Every structure is written in structure tokens, then in C-alpha cells.
Amino acid sequence: MANSSGEQSQQSPLASQRAKEANQPRAGWFPLGYKEGFNQWWAGLSPAVTEHKVLSFIPHLQNPPTQTETGSEPPTPSGSLMEIHDDAAHKAAPVSPDSNTDPYGPRQWNSNLVKLAGKNRALNEFSVERIGEEVENNLVMLHGYGAGLGFFYKNFEALSRAPGWKLYALDLLGMGRSSRPPFRIHAKDHQGKITEAENWFVDALEDWRVQKNIDKFTLLGHSLGGYLAVAYALKYPGHLNKLILASPVGIPEDPYAVSAEMPDPEDSTMANERAKDGKPPRKPLPKWLTYLWDANISPFSLVRWSGPLGPRLVSGWTSRRFAHLPPEEAQALHDYSYSLFRQRGSGEYALAYILAPGAFARSPLIRRIHGVGRQYLGVHSGPIPDSNNPTGIDSGVVADRPRENGIPVVLMYGDHDWMDTKAGYAAAEKINEERKKVSREKGKDSGEAKVVIIRNAGHHVYLDGWEEFNEVMRGEMSGVEKAQKMR
């Protein structure tokens, strides 16, 4: 039900999804046949191959570069470690279509694996820049839970038309074709576990920024990527020009999610593949769901365990998610999704520490988002607003330290999004209230927030309503340019 402001009523995203699927014919739940599913499992296409196929649908880029330093090997039955190949032959040479095939160019497209500090830590990066122009602005794009940068294939070309901009799409650490180090939680307390899980991702993003020598950038995050984009803004202030959240998860507050128990810290990700003994406590969601969640068994674990049935299980999601796309593109996205889902688990295990069953955040962003753009400058120990801890998160944070002066925040939702649009309006109100408060106390603040609704789009706004999404994004990018000129 929508209210007069275009908001949607609050409900569990999982419940919403189940309600939609209840209206689907049962015969169509898993449309991929057993034989076709077995053939796909047996073929074992590597993530590098499937990513390349998806990116080949980018206009004017029929042969995209694809690094094979990770994701070049077909998965083993137990899942691939996504190991890093250091051989130069696995690197990808840049691709530059000529003016006859690239009417909005010339542009240069790159696929790189960016090595980070520590063992087996690297981010898969796909980028495009305009040749012969100085890079004045950078746009960084983060995908959602379990997905990959290839999902943005409808956006790269259109957004890279903007003069002076360089685009980067990244696979989150432990997802996509980034490396998949073991995910470990060492903290024992509730908040410590949440902070450690968030830091696992945002520390990798900051390491990437340092490696690329980028001072400031505009950050776009979808779903879980949006949640982590907020976390990054809070922990590493001073590096964002604008924050764009596309159907972000984790904004609204739910009393159960805040107080719900978490999985116990494990020594390694492989331990998370094993269900725990004992009965689950009574909770408002189905017992089988809360049992798997509390055991930190991800949906991708089920895909891996199911062997030849895996492609058929995945088709139940991809057939609905990509039904609006041309058949060849929908098939490529199905293949890409399955090749990623069957990789050995890593970053996926963080979800149980960030969200409770029902997809509500254990530390809701509605409690923290007002701090975006208003933190003390300098690294923080975690994504916690300074206003929530007046003495400072770190001993080095003191009252007379300079603060950020606010950054614009845009929250985007589809007009039939199952994510809670009402929470987006509440988050924008919180940010704008904080702006008024800071402006009264300390002068001008640039931290205005707004909500944008994309027509004919669901949760994947950048893909469902890609044309309007790209138009809105170009407008927001232009707004960054105007703000810079004013400064």
C-alpha cells in the first residue's frame, strides 16, 4: 500500500518476496529442465567466461577486456577458492573501440585485479575512461549481495558519456570475481561482531582507493552495496563528493532484528558450511529459514550442495529477475549468476552478522545515516556516527578536529520495489534535520538528501528501469560538477 508521499508500507522483504512468488504458477518455479541443468553443471563455465559474455552486451563494446587472474577456472565440486594468478598472461589489455564503432568516444575500457594488503585480498575492477580528457571526477559502483559488477552492464556506456568522468565497478571482497579469503569473526560482543563484518568490506574499499590514488569520488551502492556505502562514508569520512543509494538494504528499524542472536564466531568460512545441532528458538519467520540463518548457511551453500540441481534452483530466481530482458541477455545473466553462486563461500557469510532473518539490519542505518558527511576527518574504528559517541570513536578524535561539511545523499527506489521506500523517506528526513541543526550551529552544510522513484522498476532499479536510472544518474553527476565549480 502506498501513502500520499509515494511511500510503501513496512514489511519484511522476505515476506514480500514470498507473497509475490505465491502468485506464480508452481510449474514455473524452476523453469530450467533437469537435462539442461545437468549440462550446465557439467560444463562448469568459469566466472571469467560468463562475466565476459554479459559485458559483451555493452553498446559499442562487443569484445570487452576480461582479466583472468581470478575466476578463470571452472569450480570444483567443493567450490573454487578463486585463487589469484600472477602470470602476466592472465592480465587483460585495455580495449579502445575506434570512432566508427564508438560514437560517444573515444573511450578506453579496462579489466583489472587490484591487489590489496594481506593474503589473498584483491578486488575485481572494471573501468572506463574517456581518452584525451583529464579525469576530474570518479564514479565507483558497488553491487548487491552475492552479485557481481556485470549486473551494471546496462549502465556503463551511458554513464561514461559524461566528459571528465572515469567509472569504476568493483566486485566486493569475497564476492563476484574478487578474491575469496576466509571470512572470520573474532569479536565476542554483539556490536563488535556487526562492526567487524562491516569493516571487512569497507576496509577493502579504502585499501582500493589508496591503491588507485583517488582522493574523492562519487559512490553508488545497490542493496547490500548501498548499506556498505553508508558504512564506508561513516568510517572513512572526507573522500566522497556524493552518496547514491539504489534500493539500499538495512535502513528501517525492527526490534527483533536489533536484539536477535547472531551466529557464534567461527574459525573459518568452511565451518559455516555445516549446520549446527540443536533446535532453533521460536521466531516470527519459518523455523527452517531461521535455522539456516542462525547456522550461517547461505543460499549459495544450497546451490553448491545441490550439485547438478544447482542450475535449476538458480533458474527459479533468474527466470523472474531477468524476465523483462531479451532472451540472450537473460540467459547470459543466468549463466553469470550460477557461475558466481557456486564459488566457495567467503563474503556471503558476513550477511548473518549484518542482517537478521527477515533482512532487517542488526544495526539499522536509520540510527546512523545522519552522521554521513558530518564525521570528524580521519579514520574511525568503525562505521559509527561521532554524534552517537561524543567523546569520539578513537582516542585521536577530539572536539576541535575539523569535520566534514556534509555531502548530498540520493536514495533511489523502484516504484514496485520490495525494499522499504518509507524508510528511505525517513532517512532523508533525518539527514535534512541534521543539516538544519548543523547549519544553525556552525553555518552552511551541504548534506541535503532526497528520494527518487524510478518508474516501472523493482529492487534492481539500475536494470529494471535502466533508461530512467541512467538519466537520473547523469543528472546527479552533473550536480557534482556544478558543486565543484561553485566551490
8 contacts 36 by C-beta, under 8 angstroms: no
SS3 content of the chain, % helix, strand, coil (to 5): 40, 15, 45
Q: How far apart are CA 360 and CA 13, in angstroms?
A: 8
Q: Strand 122-130 and strand 107-115: pairing?
A: antiparallel
Q: Is the pLDDT of residue 324 over 60?
A: yes
Q: How many residues does the chain have?
A: 487
For residue 446, the model assigns a pLDDT of 83
Q: In what order do the strands lie in the sheet with 409-414?
A: 107-115, 122-130, 165-170, 137-142, 217-222, 240-246, 409-414, 449-454
4 pLDDT higher than 60? no
- The residues with which 360 forms a beta bridge, in sequence order, are 356
What was the pLDDT predicted at 460?
97
Average pLDDT over residues 300-317: 88
Q: How far apart are the first and last CA of the chain?
A: 43
DSSP β-ladder status, 409-414 and 165-170: unpaired
Question: CA 21 to CA 29: how far, in whole Å?
Answer: 8
pLDDT for position 78: 59
What average pLDDT does range 277-304 have in this prediction?
64
pLDDT averaged over every residue in the chain: 85
pLDDT at 398: 54
Torsion of CA 135, 147, 474, 457, to 10 degrees: 180
- Work out the number of other CB atoms within 10 angstroms of the CB of residue 288: 9
Q: Across-strand partners of 403?
A: 376
Find the helix packing angle between 34-43 and 310-321, rounded to 10°. 110
pLDDT, tens digit, 9 for 90 and up, residues 18-52: 344 334 433 468 888 888 888 888 888 999 999 99
Comparison of pLDDT for 93 and 294, the residue scoring more: 93
Cα angle, residue 428 at apex, residues 424 and 431 outer, rounded to 5°: 140
Of the given ranges (25-29, 122-126, 246-250), which has the lowest mean pLDDT? 25-29
310 near 343, Cβ under 8 Å? no
Asked whether the predicted pLDDT for residue 341 surpasses 70, the reply is yes
Q: How many CB atoms lie within 10 A of CB 289?
A: 15
| 191 — pLDDT class (breaks 50, 70, 90) | very high
pLDDT of residue 268 exceeding 80: no
Instruction: Say whether pLDDT at 1 is over 50.
Output: no
pLDDT of residue 176: 97
What is the average per-residue pLDDT within 405-414? 96
pLDDT given at position 28? 66
- For residues 101 and 427, the model is more confident at 427
Give the per-residue pLDDT at 282.
Answer: 36
Please give the model's pTM, rounded to 2 decimal places: 0.88
Please determine, for residue 349, whether its predicted confidence score (pLDDT) is greater than 80.
yes
Q: What's the CA gap between 88 and 472, in Å, rounded?
A: 39
DSSP assignment of 268-332, as one string? Answer: SGGGGGSPPSSPPPP-SS-HHHHHHHHTT--HHHHHHHTGGGHHHHHHHHHHHHTTTS-HHHHHH
pLDDT band of residue 272 (cuts 50, 70, 90) is very low
pLDDT at 166 (0 to 100): 98
**DSSP H helical ranges for 324-449:** 327-341, 351-354, 421-442
In this predicted structure, the answer to whether residue 277 has a pLDDT above a threshold of 60 is no
Half-sphere exposure of 287 (CA within 13 A, CB side): 5
pLDDT at 270: 39
- Burial of 84 from C-beta contacts in 10 A (0-12 / 13-18 / 19+): middle
Helix (H) or strand (E) holding 139, with range, is strand 137-142
Burial class (CB in 10 A: 0-12, 13-18, 19+), 23: exposed
Average pLDDT over residues 156-163: 97
- Name the percent of the chain lying above pLDDT 70: 82
Which pLDDT score, from 0 to 100, does residue 271 have?
40
In tens, the pLDDT along 47-99 reads 999 999 999 999 999 899 999 999 998 776 655 567 888 899 999 999 998 77
Q: Is the pLDDT of residue 15 over 70?
A: no
What are the residue numbers of the active site?
223, 417, 459
Q: How does residue 124 score in pLDDT terms, banded at 50, 70 and 90?
A: very high
Look at residue 409 and tell me whether its pLDDT is greater than 50: yes
Of the pLDDT bands very low, low, confident and very high (cuts 50, 70, 90), residue 403 is confident
Of 39-48, 72-81, 216-225, 296-305, the range with the lowest mean pLDDT is 72-81
pLDDT the model gives residue 266: 54
pLDDT reading at 13 higher than 50? no
User: CA–CA separation, 387 vs 390, rounded Å?
Assistant: 5
Confidence of residue 14 (pLDDT cuts 50, 70, 90): very low
Q: Is 358 exposed, middle or buried (0-12, 13-18, 19+ CB in 10 A)?
A: buried
The pLDDT value recorded for residue 303 is 87
Q: Give the pLDDT score at 73.
A: 86
Which residues does residue 165 pair with via DSSP β-bridges, in sequence order?
137
